[in-house]
Amino acid sequence: MIIEMRPDSTLADLGRVISFVENLGFTPRPHHGAERTVIGVMDAAEPDLAPVAELAGVARISPLQSKGKLVSRDFRTEPTVVKVGRLRIGGPRFVVMAGPCAVESEEQLLATAKAVVSSGGHVLRGGAYKPRTSPYSFQGLKEEGLRLLALAREKTDLPIITEVVAPDLVPLVSRYADILQIGARNMQNYALLEAVGKARTPVMLKRGLMSTIDELLLAAEYIMSNGNEQVLLCERGIRTFETATRNTLDISAVPVLHERTHLPIIVDPSHAAGLVQYVPAMALAAAAAGADGIIIETHPDPAKALSDGPQALTFPMLNDLMKQLGTIAAAVGKPLVT
Ligand code: PEP
Ligand code: MN
């Protein structure tokens, strides 16, 4: 349920409503928005809270429309802006995260970080722990990969996003990462969602290969209900009958998610398309559809990449794409972060 306070209500009114709800045995979650103050009560049904409507300062009580509560637009109407150092994600500007699928070596990562800076990107991506479909594929450099990411940040000032694959790795990865990535395969790993929910580092949650939008939102709810409200959602393509592309980019997820949640929406055109020749068009489509940013794979020599080479942009391709993105993003009123 949502309790909405009147614009002229006082702090004392709010305090009384909170105590009243607590005395009923429920947990009130107040949120002070720009337009209104609301109190979410996730554990109560309508009849339980009916007397609250009579209290001073209460405008109305209403059921939540969506399955996720804290993630929902009913609870928080204004967009969440995720803060990563000086960077803002989910605000008025479009953000580009770029880098290799996996951190492979100092040389590879530093070259990529420099290319990301010179083409105008804002965040460096790179996997140190790689959840691979085959146990015989390259699994990542692990902590050494994290150290290299930190070195690249030191040299370029780019914040870093990297994947965390297990709950017991959350403290270690959080010491290095500016944004923790939850991979598609782990979207419903609830122990991991709880662990990143208890962390204070922003999290980017990728949509599972076979997950619906409601399931994605409920997975984000796990993170938020554990206390971490700095959450980005990422559409990275879903599995369909189509085999021409690695996955099918569900571009409609962008407006649907914007309607249902206040959380920022990032699109990953690389894992969606799987083939480099389709990636730029998908990236531009994401900007045109109103996404808050993209995360994209690039590599100094895609043919030699240890993972996801076929979908990696070369540096000149990234540079060209950034120029086109600038045009599209500005045209839809969300220019690139400068
Ligand atoms: C990745 O970002 O390199 C990755 C493994 O992505 P996903 O979890 O979307 O497959
Ligand atoms: Mn990858």
User: Crossing angle of helices 279-288/315-331, nearest 10°?
Assistant: 20
Tell me how far the alpha carbon of residue 168 lies from the centroid of ligand 1, in angstroms.
20
Decide whether 2-62 matches 82-331 in CATH topology: no
Residue with token string 């146990």? 135
Top mutation candidate among 210, 271, 299 for ligand 1, by most atoms within 8 Å of CB: 271
Top mutation candidate among 149, 180, 206, 234 for ligand 1, by most atoms within 8 Å of CB: 206
Specify the pLDDT at position 249.
Answer: 98
The identity of residue 82, as a single letter, is V
Left if phi > 0, otherwise alpha if psi is -120 to 50, otherwise beta: which for 120? Answer: left
For residue 130, the number of C-alpha atoms closer than 13 Å in the C-beta half-sphere is 23
Cα–Cα dist 106/86, whole Å: 26
Neighbours of 78 (CB within 10 A): 11
Q: Cα angle at 133 between 130 and 137, to 5 degrees? A: 65
Per domain, the residue ranges of the chain are 2-62, 82-331
Q: What is the DSSP pairing of strand 95-99 with strand 58-62?
A: unpaired
82-331 adopts what CATH topology? TIM Barrel (3.20.20)
2-62 adopts what CATH topology? Alpha-Beta Plaits (3.30.70)
Q: Which residue's alpha carbon is at the smallest distance from atom 10 of ligand 1?
A: 184
Specify the pLDDT at position 43.
Answer: 78
Q: Ligand 1: residues whose CB is within 6 Å? A: 101, 127, 183-185, 206, 236, 268, 271
Q: Ligand 1, residue 181: give the atom nearest the CA.
A: 2
Tell me how far the alpha carbon of residue 233 lies from the centroid of ligand 1, in angstroms.
13
Tell me how far the alpha carbon of residue 270 lies from the centroid of ligand 1, in angstroms.
9
Q: Which residue's alpha carbon is at the smallest distance from atom 5 of ligand 1?
A: 183
Q: Tell me if 247 sits within 8 A of 209, measured CB to CB.
A: yes
Q: What is the mean pLDDT of each run of 10 residues along the chain (338 residues)?
A: 92 96 92 86 80 94 78 92 98 98 98 98 98 93 98 98 98 98 98 98 98 97 96 98 98 98 98 98 98 98 98 98 98 97
Tell me how far the alpha carbon of residue 307 lies from the centroid of ligand 2, in angstroms.
6
Tokens, residue 257: 């998610």
Q: Ligand 1, residue 236: give the atom nearest the CA.
A: 9
Q: Ligand 1, residue 130: give the atom nearest the CA.
A: 5
Q: Ligand 1, residue 307: give the atom nearest the CA.
A: 3
Specify the pLDDT at position 65.
Answer: 66
Q: Tell me if 73 sits within 8 A of 261, measured CB to CB.
A: yes
Cα–Cα dist 108/49, whole Å: 58
